Amino acid sequence: MMNTVMDRFTVAASALLFSASAWSFTPTPDPDPDPNPNPEPCQVDCDFTRGPDPTSSYLEASSGPYSVRTIDVSRSVNGFGGGTIHYPSNTTGKMGAIAIVPGFAAPESSIAWWGPRLASHGFVVITIATNSSFDQPASRATQLGSALDYVISQSNSSTSAISGMVDSTRVGAMGWSMGGGGALRLASGARLSAAIPLAPWHSGSNPFDQIETPTMIIACENDSTAPVGSHASPFYNRIPASTDKAFLEINNGSHSCANGGGSNGGLLGKYGVSWMKRFIDKDTRYQQFLCGPNHAGNSAISEYRDTCTY
């Protein structure tokens, strides 16, 4: 009888000890850092993706996935010489805005190709004329800013065709020749999300070493008006290495090689749209067209530099 009681006591005690050891068990700590962390909810720099997954052929096509409508802007508007707003008609939600200015003695039509091309990929774009065809780069920078202000004001107007379409915190600028110099000057401030100077021309001192705006310079190899060696290339080099930047030189291109259309249309569309998508829309799907070895194999490109990965 005594042995039976002792046996029962031993079993009960063993059960209690096992239970206690189970509660006091210390698990193996997780590795630091966790190799498979749970994704954090997006707090800042969230993307604004729009449109299908891009491919080279998609970007090189004559237009993107959206139909484009236009609004004429009178020359009597304050701050610049009038122009045209190009906007997508079959998509919703707020979009980035881009202003584009021509060069010395050049009309709006010289850069107009870019308007529908960018708008068809989901941007509200204004191509402008200048107050005077002889305005210098500093003035063209100011006019680019005024054009962006105008587009934003139209988006804020309940009677405008682009009412509610523009995200005022996501804006870009482009310009050709002296307009490219103007785009670089505007990029030296804190306003822009992205800039693309086209065959930029600028003389004298400049603030390009202050540029933090992601900037792609598109240059023309045989440019006799703004020679690459004294304009586009040193401008690119002056932009800090810490800034997201790229330099694309078009093989055998003359001064107007970056204005669009013709044999360069597919190339310009792919890189121009990709740059604006990556930095205005924060859409990393387009990084593949800006970084990597593909540029070297393109006979239309004579030189390409970058600070990838963006």
> Residue by residue, what is the 3-state secondary structure of 167-187?
EEEEEEEEEECHHHHHHHHHH
Proportion of the chain in helix, strand, coil states, percent, rounded to 5: 35, 20, 50
pLDDT tens sequence across 79-104? 999 999 999 999 999 999 999 999 99
Which residue ranges form the domains of the chain, and what is each CATH number? 67-306 (3.40.50.1820)
Structure tokens at 268: 């310009």
Structure tokens at 15: 């059960």
Q: Note the pLDDT of residue 36.
A: 42
Q: Note the pLDDT of residue 293.
A: 86
* 66 vs 92: CA distance, rounded Å: 11
Q: Which of 164, 171, 124 is nearest to 144 (CA)?
A: 171
Q: Note the pLDDT of residue 50.
A: 94
Q: Mean pLDDT for the chain?
A: 89
Beta pairing partners, 215: 195, 245
In one-letter notation, the amino acid at residue 62 is S
Q: Note the pLDDT of residue 253.
A: 97
Q: Note the pLDDT of residue 27.
A: 46
End-to-end CA distance of the chain: 82
Active-site residues, by number, are: 177, 223, 255
Regions in the chain scoring below 70 on pLDDT: 1-46
Measured between alpha carbons, how far is residue 77 from residues 61, 102, 128, 151, 260 in Å?
A: 34, 17, 11, 12, 27
Q: Note the pLDDT of residue 2.
A: 39
Q: Note the pLDDT of residue 46.
A: 67
